[in-house]
Amino acid sequence: MRKFIFEKLEALLNIPSPTGNTEKAMAFVEEEFKSLGLDTGRNNKGALIASLKGLNDEREVTLSAHVDTLGAMVKEIKPNGRLKLTQLGGYVWNTVEGEYVVIETLEGKEYTGTIISTKASAHVYGKDADEVKRDMDNMEVRIDERVNSKEDVLKLGINVGDFVYLDPRTTITPSGFIKSRHLDDKAGVVSLLAIAKHLVENNITPKYTTNFFISNYEEVGHGASASIPEKTFEFIAVDMAAPGEGQTSDEYSVTICAKDSSGPYDYELRKSLINLAKEAGLNYKIDIYPYYGSDGSAALRSGHDIRVGLIGPGVDASHSYERTHVEAIENTIKLGILYLTR
């Protein structure tokens, strides 16, 4: 299973999929589910639903993960030939300073560049280079082409609204760490693929018909707000956990979330998940996130009458240059399998 995790996660991380432009990554995931023999379909927003028949077909459970990631779009072409950006998803500007990017035009042309501050050179700006505020107005993309004006940029085919991809810089270390942007939530997506693979290849039928819901607008808050299969009575969002000061999560465990910014998750479902993890001897944590929302949050806000839980691998430096350990993903997979079969 570890080889599968590394191979599929690295492949998926290297497919750009910022919110609003996720089709290539979604097609990759869809083919993976199809190769396992699952029935697949899309909703009008482009989200993927893959289904596996269970012993009980009258009630269903749905597990979700999201393939959309942080990114940016061209907000403005500046007179000096640099690009002003607007964010996709919530991140702090200084976490992308110096990052390599790819700008994709509507015609499919791609150009590379770098996100830098408007006062990047210490030799030119001195103290101001350090003190300039990192925000939308003071950060820009330096395009790797001979451009010195807005007209030069337009001739390349770059325009307002073009997507800008952050370089994922994916690295897998011999010690089992995975470093990359966009582990949120591609680590969750690969967890669902691994769960489905385990069930299919071991001829295990889940207790209830199971849907794997891969959303594509989670980072902007409405990923699983629609199209959850109507027989669903329980919904588990599989998304990153966030280690840090004051948190119990770590990079080696599956975290069971008790509460986030949208409120507490279902109490009985949380107890059931904890008991499963405890009985199986899994490395697990229980945590609360005050600045976090999930596809489960979106599902509840949109009025779905379902019980919702949230689990996922611990991912350090969330919405920055992220890192997790393969053990956290493995523990997430194991808990998912136990949930579906016990």
Q: What is the DSSP string of 271-310?
A: HHHHHHHHHTT--EEEEE-TT---HHHHHHHTT---EEEE
Q: CA-to-CA distance for 286 and 83, rounded, in angstroms?
A: 42
Whether residues 55 and 190 fall in one domain? yes
Q: How many domains does the chain have?
A: 2
Question: Are 52 and 123 within one domain?
Answer: no
Residue 152, φ and ψ in degrees, nearest 5 = -60, -40
Containing domain of residue 84, as a range?
77-166
Q: Tokens 């990114």, residue? A: 71
Catalytic annotation present for 218: yes
pLDDT digits (tens, 9 = 90+) for 145-162: 999 999 999 999 999 999
Query: Token pair 């390599």 is at which residue?
Result: 100
Looking at the structure, do residues 225 and 313 belong to the same domain, yes or no?
yes
* Sign of the dihedral defined by the CA atoms of residues 90, 93, 99, 104, in that order: positive
The model's confidence at residue 288, banded by pLDDT at 50, 70 and 90, is very high
- Which pLDDT tens digit goes with each residue over 150-205? 999 999 999 999 999 999 999 999 999 999 999 999 999 999 999 999 999 999 99
Shared domain check, 133 and 57: no
CA 237 to chain centre: 12
Residues 117 and 7 in one domain: no
In a domain, 174, yes or no: no
Q: Is residue 318 in some structural domain?
A: yes
Max intra-chain CA distance, the chain: 69
pLDDT value at position 138? 97
Q: What is the pLDDT of residue 96?
A: 98
Percent of residues, the chain, with pLDDT higher than 70 = 100
Q: pLDDT tens digits, residue range 193-242?
A: 999 999 999 999 999 999 999 999 999 999 999 999 999 999 999 999 99
Instruction: Report the predicted TM-score, pTM, of the whole model to 2 decimal places.
Output: 0.97
Res 234: pLDDT: 98
Q: Which of 32, 140, 218, 219 is catalytic?
A: 218
227, part of any domain? yes
